[in-house]
Amino acid sequence: MPSSRSLAALTGITVLGIALTACQDQASGQIVARNDARIVETISNTSIHGCHRFPEGVTHVENFTQSSLMMYTTPDCSVPPGGQSVYLNMQASDHAVRSTGLWRSFSFAPE
């Protein structure tokens, strides 16, 4: 009997370790993207890796995650010549400036 308890405990610890490791690859919380007053997309617990595209350009982003974002006017998270990205801190919101154009993508800022 003791060996089956040890095996069960080891299996439980392994599963917990895998679950905790997987959570580190996700931003806990929500990102709400709007175009004026209309919600375009609500994203929950998304991956912190790579570039994320909005389905259309957005004017306002609310970051209710525990991670900071970089906002881009391009669909591929690149900064166009003469342009810039916008840093959006965790638990903050911001509006796109009409002169720079709508936000089309975001990535998570390195921490």
Q: What's the pLDDT score for residue 27?
A: 87
Instruction: Report the run of H or E that residue 97 belongs to, with start and end.
Output: none
What residue ranges in the chain does DSSP mark as E strands? 29-35, 38-44, 52-58, 60-65, 69-72, 86-88, 92-95, 103-108
Model pLDDT for residues 3-41, shown as the tens digit of each residue: 566 655 555 555 555 444 445 688 899 999 999 889 999
Q: How far apart are the first and last CA of the chain?
A: 47
Q: What's the pLDDT score for residue 60?
A: 94
**Residue 100 or residue 39, greater confidence:** 39
Q: What's the pLDDT score for residue 24?
A: 66
d(CA 97, CA 60): 10
Mean pLDDT on 74-95: 91
Model pLDDT for residues 47-80, shown as the tens digit of each residue: 999 999 999 999 999 999 999 999 999 999 999 8
Domains within the chain, CATH numbers bracketed = 28-108 (2.60.20)
CB 44 within 8 A of CB 69: no
Q: pLDDT grade, residue 109 (50/70/90)?
A: very high
Q: What's the pLDDT score for residue 21?
A: 47
